[in-house]
Every structure is written in structure tokens, then in C-alpha cells.
Structure 1
Amino acid sequence: MPGCGVLGLCQYETNKLVRIQSVRLGSLKWSLNGFILLFICIMMLWNRKYQEFDLVVSSVTTKVKGVAQTHMLGVGDVVWDAVDYSGPSQDRNSFFVVTNVIVTEKQKQGKCPEVPLKGRLCRTDKDCEKGDWDQWSHGIQTGSCVKFDVLKKTCEVSAWCPIETKTNPPRPALLAAAENFTVLIKNNIRFPAFNFIRRNILPQMNDAYLRSCQRGNDSLCPIFRLGDIVREAGEKFSEMAVEGGVIGIQIKWDCNLDRLMQRCLPKYSFRRLDEKESNKTLYPGLNFRYAKYNTVNGVEERTLYKAFGIRFEVMVFGQAGRFSFIQLIIYIGSTLSYYALTTMLIDWLIGTSCYSAEVGQNYFQRKVESVQDKQKCILCVSYVDEDNLRLVKRSQKKSLQDVKPTSVEPRTRLYL
């Protein structure tokens, strides 16, 4: 065509309807359309694409119950209740249970030899700098080198004496009986967009139910045995209790708020969150220190506890859905394009060996038709007083005498 450098860029395609009278193709078309419609409906119901959703807003409180008795060397029998094994404080959405402990008794403010850790031995007072300390120190150095035992000498420090010397927790864990402790988890949720409020202690759960329910028989029971939580997380309580660790309690709310299909119940799952193998991490488990103070003969003393235990993190997530006409229309509009798969598949079948080459060629000859752009035809204009012919594009609004010709050709050349 004149004026086009690349013919492929000077084409426009539009759809052409070709109706083929064929029982086989008609049956295939409606079968494919039916399958697509069924798939769209199943996905709409399964994923609830007809609903609008809102994310959960949650608060969690816990209450741990249980009593255990331990025998500690130099102390005797000690009874542990919820105040003792829950630690000095509780974090938001979590609770801590002591399972093992190292006790250092009758510490007083004074001067004593530092624990002989690596690189902390001394020979003379020159090896000890007065007032020096670092992150591994238990006190402030006095500048004296004193005997720690018969064979070792260390720098003297001003600290709580005697200094804690044990580093490895007892095996088996002192509070292995914590496996039978129970925890009541109270979870209140809200979906702000729908002004919907619910908690995991359902309306039908009365006091008698909570006293007798067990997770083995009722998956909705909000009271959990600690040993069962650790076991469902894939761990063994007696092993985890030695050095401690972190367990995640996941509460999932997947709520359908439509009246005919309303359902909003919690689903619990458990997993370990920290690295469990001591040989793969520098500081395995979980521990912290706290002290209990008293006064003896006017002198303040304390008992130091290095507590190992399990922290249980309660994590709540979920969503609620409610019917929305707008979401339904958006989903229907987004799935209408799936029906184009039927046309693509049938066109592909006609062009393959499933049909004869003659039928396929006849189909595509009727479906594809090339049409020239008539507005680009050229008019030959001649004037009496001119020896040449003017070639002018058709459909011009100006007068032919005022139109600039695309080219000028001699009369004799055109008549040859």
C-alpha cells in the first residue's frame, strides 16, 4: 500500500462470526462451557469470592494452674505454685513456666574471688586492675589476686557473694512435673468492619463444662495441658524442660458471617519457635535470673535463681467474610474471560488432525478475510492546459484544483 513501509503494521483485525453446523462441535462447546461454569461456581463457593473480608483484632489473657514439689540440694523440699513458676512478670499475649532452676543461696554484699572463667586466672595483684569490669564480670575488681580453690587464683571482686558457679542446668529437670500443669486461654476477638464480637469461651460453655472438658475429646476446649501442647508441637516435654524454649500457640479464626452459613469457631495449632538443638546454637533454650531478698540479723541477703523454662507465645490471626453484591459482580466479571478458552480449544482442534485438512482450510478461509482500505484509492485528474496527469487521493474535502497531488505522471507513460 502507498505510504506504508511495513505492510504488517498497516493492518487491522476484527472478529468475524462463522457458524458451523456440527453436532460434535456443538456438544463439545456446551460441555466445555458447562465445565468452566462448574469450575467458576466451585471456586466461588470454596474461596467465598462473593464476600468482603475483614481481619481480626484480638486480645489474649492466660491463667496457669498447677502445684509441684521439688527436692533441691542444700534447701530440701520446696513447693512451687503459680506465683513461683510463672516468673516475675508476664508479657503481652504470652506466659512463662519455670521447668528447671539453679539456686545460689545466702548471697551477701562483700568481697570474694571471681569465677575462674577462661582467661580470668591471675598470679599476682598486678594481673588485677582495681575498678575494672566487663560484660562477663560478676562484680568490680578490688585489685587483689586471691585463691579460688587449692589450684586456682582469680581476681577478687566486690559483688554478691558467694558468686554463682554452676552453669549447666540439672538433668532431669527439677520441675518436670510442670508437664501436668494446665493453662486457660481467654481470647476475645472483634471484626471492626462488621461490628462482630466473639471469644473462644463460647456461650454454651459453663463452669461445669470448663471443669471437665479435655482436648482429646473436644477440640474447642480452652483449657490446655502443657505436656499436650509440647507434644502436639512435635517435642518431648522432659527434654525441652531442661534448657527451656519457646512454643507458639496459634489460634485461627476463619469466620463466615452469612446468616444461612454462619460459623465462627477457633482452631488451635502448636509449633516450636526456637532452635532446639544445643550443638547448633550458641545459647540454647531460654533462661533468666531473679532473686528473693530477706534480712538476717540486720544484714540483707538474697537467694539467686537462674530459671530455665518454656515461654508460650499465643498468636491470633484470622478473617471474617460477609456477602457483598459488589464483590460478587467483580468476581463474575473477572471470570467471563474463561469462556474464551472454549473458542481457543475448538479452533485448535479444527486445525489439527482431529479434522481433515480440507475442513480446516475451508473454516479458516471463511473466518479470515482481507479487505483493502477504500479510502486510500488514487484518482487520476487531468486538465486541458496540462500535459501531465495528477495522482490525487480520494475522499478529499478540498477542491481538486486546490489539492496537492501525491505525484505527477506523463500522459504517454500511463497509456502504454
Structure 2
Amino acid sequence: MAGCCTSVCDFILEYDTPRIVLIKNKTVGVINKMVQVVILAYVIGWVLVWEKGYQAFDSTIGTVTTKVKGIAITNSSPFEEHVWDAADYVIPPQQENSFFLMTNVIVSKNQVQGRCPEVPSKTTRCESDSDCAAGFHDSQTNGVFTGKCVKYNEKVNTCEVFAWCPVENDAVIPEPAILGEAENFTVLIKNSIAFPKFHFSKRNILTNANTSYLKTCRFKQENDPFCPIFRIGDVVHEAGEDFEKLAVQGGVIGILIKWNCNLDLSPSKCVPKYIFQRLDNKNFRETVSPGYNFRFAKYFNVNGTETRTLFKAFGIRFEVEVFGQAGQFDIIPTMINIGSGLALLGMATILCDIIVLYFLKKSNYYKEKKYKFVDDYELGIESEDSYGAIQNSRNTN
């Protein structure tokens, strides 16, 4: 117990102070300098230069608006001759940071509320009325069973349903896509960003751009990154997709606008970079409900009867996302990173100490040179001896 108390007292009443020992050993000296060079290269090359450790950073905030233009003409059943413009194929007209472009469609014209045969399936095929339970319906049927088994065509009988008649038959998707000309449509993407911390803002349209420029320019990443007009076919191609195949069942394309700006340079150097990529699973054979589609209807009144035309629209949904960061010189992160680098240099000394004190043959000798233990009573003895020697010298003289 006494020994334990003595150890605790010694721990409390003593302290250690660094002692510089110059060791002339080629191996250790080379290791020391190599480690220091590596640390300096990391701090200067990676932290300060590559990672811009001398800057403070801020994330971007931004807004996006889009406008699609283009005309398509179809001249095939069930459309006959029909002109499609942006009001027909951009659904809905405005969305937040995204837009949908219809490229293919199944149309069910002149539907009215009534009774008609259901589309053939495992659930709806029948031989007699007993196969059709009155009142039955689920998410896969177009209406409510009336309890009757009726002819769908000359070969097939199906259950009669109360629904919008005639019911939609979407078993066959038009191929090639009805609106294949959508490849040549264009979209204007207006993007404004800001870095609030640095009171900096910018648009993806230059301030000196005029109307005639916007009518003729087409976006090219390398040549004209500030042209906001994108050809739909080019966007799909940049995402690594074939427009003709994608247009049949649709899909989702991401348009990523990246603003990484060094505000220590001229504001003109702050340029957006566009990244295009397919976001949904493009392997239709392995995907349940592949592509992108939805339904909408246009309602009208014919001789007092409510009538509608149902559209099952296939197309491409474009998701526009803005991200990035800006950096500007700031003395605080600069000093923090420099201080951290200087502290890391101590790792070279620690590594070399481990080698010298534990792995070299003369490690015990180096330990004696590096560590020296001093007690107060030794200092007192030395002081008294020195004082006595001085007095004896004076008496002799």
C-alpha cells in the first residue's frame, strides 16, 4: 500500500521535459528526412493545393425553370392526321425542377359510363355467368363486374363490367413510338444559383445574351457551356441511351448542373458543368412495370352525355438537380491547416524514436543519452558541494 502511495506521489510531483539529442545515424537520419518530406508533400500538395485548405467553402442554392418547344405530326390510326405541340406533350405544363415529355401514347377515344366486356385476362375470361361474381372488382380491372358473361370477340368471352366504355386495351404498345419526332424538340433550362456566404450569384445565361442568340445556340459542354438550349436527342445520347428505344416505354433521365467555383479567380471562371445520366432501370426484361407512364383524360359533353378521351402516356421524365460549392481564401482555415501540418511533422520524430530506442542494437545506450532523471535532493547536494568548493578556494588564496 505504501509503495502504491509512493508511486502516485511520484507521478503527481514529477514532470518530463523534452531533451534534444543529436544522433548521427545514417539510416535513422534518412528515414527522418523522408517522413518529413512525405508529410510536407501531403500538407502542401494535397491539403493546401489540391483540397484548397486555404479557403472557406459554401454550398450552392439554386432554382430551375424549364420550357419545351417543338412540333410533331402524326398520320396513323387512331389519330389520323394530328399536330402535337408543347401543350399536348408536356404534362403538366410546369413542374418544380423537372418536366415530363410524352413520346408514346395509347388513346381510348369517346369513352362513356356504361356496360361493356372487360379486356381478356385470367380473371376476366369466362364460360358462363357463374364465372363472373357480381360486384367484384380489384386494381387490375377497369370496372365492376355486373355478373354477366358476354362476348369480347368471336373467340373469347369475358365478364361484363360497369365502367368507362369501351375499356382501355394497353396490351400492345405502339412501336416505333408515336412521337418519335420528340428527339428534335428543344428545352430551355434557366438556372440561377447563389453562394450566400460570399454574396455571390450567377445564372447559366450570360448577361449579354439576347433573343437571337437563344434562338440559334445549342448546348455543347466544351464550346458553349452558357447556352441554355438543349436538344432532347442530345441529352438522351449524352446519358448513354438510344432515343428510339427509350421513347417506346419511357424512362427517367437526370440532368445534373454542377457549380464548383473558385471565387479567388475571376467570376467569369465560375462555369456550370452538366452531367446527364439514366436514373431508372433500363433493363426492361428484368424490371416489373418498366419505363415511365401514367394516364390522364380530357372530358367533354356530347349531346348531354359526359364523354372522355383517355390517354396512357409513355415518355421521358427529366429530373434537374443543382449542386456544387464555392471556395474563397480565409485566414482561419489556412492557419488551422498549416498548424495541423506542423504538428504532423512531430510524427517523424516519434517514428525515429521508436526505431532508435527499440530496434537498434545500441538502443540501451541511446536511452541513457535521451533520458536523464533529476531529483531535488541531487540538486541540493550539488549546490552544497559547489558552495564548499568555492569557500575552500577562497581560504587557500
Q: Taking structure 1 as the reference length, what is the TM-score of the superposition?
A: 0.79
Q: Which residue of 2 aligns with 1:326?
A: 332
Aligned partner of residue 3 in structure 2, secondary structure: coil
Answer yes or no: is the 8 Å Cα contact 2:142–2:167 preserved in 1: yes
Instruction: Rate the CA distance shift 1:90–1:137 in 2: closer, same or farther, 3 A.
Output: farther
What are the residue-to-residue correspondences of 1:148-297 with 2, within 5 Å? 148-216=152-220, 217-258=223-264, 263-297=269-303
Matched, 1:93 2:97: yes
Relative contact order: is structure 1 or structure 2 higher (C-alpha 8 Å, sep ≥ 6)?
2
Q: CA deviation at 1:119?
A: 2.0
Aligned AA (1:44): L
Aligned partner of residue 349 in structure 2, secondary structure: helix
Q: Which residue of 2 aligns with 1:17?
A: 20
Q: CA deviation at 1:80?
A: 1.2
Answer yes or no: is the 8 Å Cα contact 1:51–1:327 preserved in 2: yes
Q: Which residue of 2 aligns with 1:3?
A: 3
Q: CA deviation at 1:25?
A: 7.4
Aligned partner of residue 53 in structure 1, secondary structure: strand
Aligned AA (1:363): Y
Matched, 1:48 2:52: yes
Aligned AA (1:155): C
Answer yes or no: is the 8 Å Cα contact 1:220–1:267 preserved in 2: no
Which structure has the larger Rg? 1
List per-residue Cα deviations over 1:307-331 (Å, max 9, x = no partner): 1000000011111222222222222
Matched, 1:121 2:125: yes
Q: CA deviation at 1:70?
A: 1.8
Instruction: Rate the CA distance shift 1:374–1:232 in 2: closer, same or farther, 3 A.
Output: farther
Aligned partner of residue 325 in structure 2, secondary structure: strand
What are the residue-to-residue correspondences of 1:370-409 with 2, within 5 Å? 370=373
Matched, 1:305 2:311: yes
Counting helix residues as a fraction of each chain, which structure ranks higher?
2
Instruction: Rate the CA distance shift 1:113–1:197 in 2: closer, same or farther, 3 A.
Output: same
Q: Percent identity?
A: 49
Of residues 122-131 and 141-150 in structure 1, the stretch that sits farther from structure 2 once superposed is 122-131
Q: CA deviation at 1:235?
A: 1.2
Instruction: Rate the CA distance shift 1:290–1:261 in 2: closer, same or farther, 3 A.
Output: closer
The whole-number CA distance in structure 2 between the counterparts of 1:152 and 1:361 is: 100
Instruction: Rate the CA distance shift 1:363–1:181 in 2: closer, same or farther, 3 A.
Output: same
Aligned AA (1:322): Q
Aligned partner of residue 3 in structure 1, secondary structure: helix
Matched, 1:363 2:362: no
Which runs of 5 or more structure 2 residues have no equivalent in the other structure?
A: 379-397
Answer yes or no: is the 8 Å Cα contact 1:255–1:262 preserved in 2: no
Aligned partner of residue 119 in structure 1, secondary structure: coil
Of residues 252-261 and 6-15 in structure 1, the stretch that sits farther from structure 2 once superposed is 6-15
What are the residue-to-residue correspondences of 1:61-140 with 2, within 5 Å? 61-140=65-144
For these two proteins, the number of residue pairs brought into alignment is 372
List per-residue Cα deviations over 1:271-295 (Å, max 9, x = no partner): 1111111221111001111222333
Aligned AA (2:247): A
Q: Which residue of 2 aligns with 1:335?
A: 341
Answer yes or no: is the 8 Å Cα contact 1:291–1:303 preserved in 2: yes
Aligned partner of residue 167 in structure 2, secondary structure: coil
Answer yes or no: is the 8 Å Cα contact 1:4–1:10 preserved in 2: no
Answer yes or no: is the 8 Å Cα contact 1:57–1:190 preserved in 2: yes
List per-residue Cα deviations over 1:3-38 (Å, max 9, x = no partner): 049989977765321134689977876675455334
The whole-number CA distance in structure 2 between the counterparts of 1:298 and 1:28 is: 95
Q: Which residue of 2 aligns with 1:407?
A: none
Q: CA deviation at 1:298?
A: 4.0
